[in-house]
Structures are given as structure tokens and as C-alpha cells.
Amino acid sequence: MSKAEKTKQFIIEKTAALFNTKGYISTTLSDITEITGLTKGSIYGNFSSKDEVALEVYKYNSGVLGKNMARSLSKEFPTTIDKLYAFTDFYRKNWKIVFEVGGCPLMNAATEADDTFPDLRKQVAESFKVWIKNISDVIQQGQENGEIHKEINAEEFGSLFIMTVEGGILLSKTTGDEKYLNLALDRILLIIDKELKQNQL
């Protein structure tokens, strides 16, 4: 890494929780300089605008969460069903950590990503597509190896899982009560056991 690249990465990592907590639009340049200890000139020497900082921070935040979630869908777990169980387990075990840094970066950015920040909206949409595809791919693998019913639509269930988790996160974050996220995760487990598993026919 060059000195410029290190400075850029420092700015991104130092402001990651700030943007996710205060908002990608609401966070100001003054907020950035205060938390990094850098001057405005230094910020603009590495980024063309505050919006560029916000986009890079969003990519960083969503990337960190995505990598952590991807571990639950990895080869570490021998069966497709184990991978899907691990996916729900990840959220159940890590919700406190996620909430401490402002909650799910995808959801937070999605609520802000309107016509005033189309580049952010486009990035969020792409992130959700990737997440849905990752889960859909696992389900399709399960169909191919005989663990999951071949008749079901993998993409629909991948979308359903993400929608259910995000809804649970939203209610739990808003109310400060983890029961809503747990309820959502319990529902996903029920879907896995009653609708996906091949041995249920």
C-alpha cells in the first residue's frame, strides 16, 4: 500500500461506524475531520467529495458484513442444510455487535438511498442482489445433491430469507428488543425444516 492508499483506508475504517450510525447523507465533512483528526484538505486530497467517502465506506461496511455472513455458507459446513442453519445462527449470535455499530449497513443505506443519492441506491441494490444470489446458490446446491426439493424456486426462497431477516433487524433495532429478530430467524428455520428439506415429502 502506498501512503495515499493507507490514508484513504484509514479514513474509510475510521468513519465506518460513524456513517452507519449517523447516516450516509447526514454525516458531514466536519464529522469526518473530527473523528479522523485530518484536515478538510487531507480528506479532499484523497476523495473527490463527501459522497465518494460515503460510497467507499458503504462498500467497506457491507463488505465486512458480507464476508462474515459468507463464512456461514462456506465449505466449513458439510451439508446444505447445515449451511442454512449457520446462516441463521450468524445473525442470532452477532446481532449485538451489528447493532453496536448502527445496525445492518444495507438496511441503513437503503432507507437513505432515494433520488438524492442515486449512486448509493444503486450500490445497495447490487449488494442485496449478491446476498440473495449467495443464498440461492446454496439452495440450488442442495437441490442438486438431493437435500432440498427440486420443485422449489431457489431465488424466491433466497429473497424471502433476506426480507425476513432484514424485517426482524428493523423491528429489533427500532424497539430495542431482540425478540423480533429471533422470531424472524425461527421462522426461517421452520421454512428450512418444513418446506425445503427433501425428507419432508
- The pLDDT of residue 201 is 43
- The pLDDT of residue 101 is 67
For the chain, which residues make up each domain, given as ranges?
Answer: 59-200
pLDDT mean over 16-35: 92
Closest CA relative to residue 149, chosen from 98, 195, 83, 101: 195
Across 27-65, b (16+ Cβ under 10 Å) vs e yields beeeebbeebebeeeebeebbeebeebbbbbbbbbbeeb
Q: Of 32-36, 45-49, 98-102, 126-130, which range is least confident? A: 98-102
pLDDT in tens, 97-130: 677 667 788 888 887 777 778 899 899 999 999 9
Q: Does the pTM exceed 0.75?
A: yes
103/92: higher pLDDT: 92
Rounded distance between C-alpha atoms, residue 189 and residue 131, angstroms:
18
Across 127-152, b (16+ Cβ under 10 Å) vs e yields bbeebbebbbebbbbbbeeebbbeee
- The pLDDT of residue 117 is 86
Dihedral sign for Cα atoms in the order 112, 91, 85, 196? negative
Which 3 state secondary structure label does DSSP give 148?
strand
Which percentage of the chain shows pLDDT scores above 90?
57
DSSP classification of residue 198: G
pLDDT in tens, 147-178: 999 999 999 999 999 999 989 988 988 888 88
Mean pLDDT for the chain overall: 89
pLDDT at position 29 over 90: yes
Q: Note the CATH number of domain 59-200.
A: 1.10.357.10
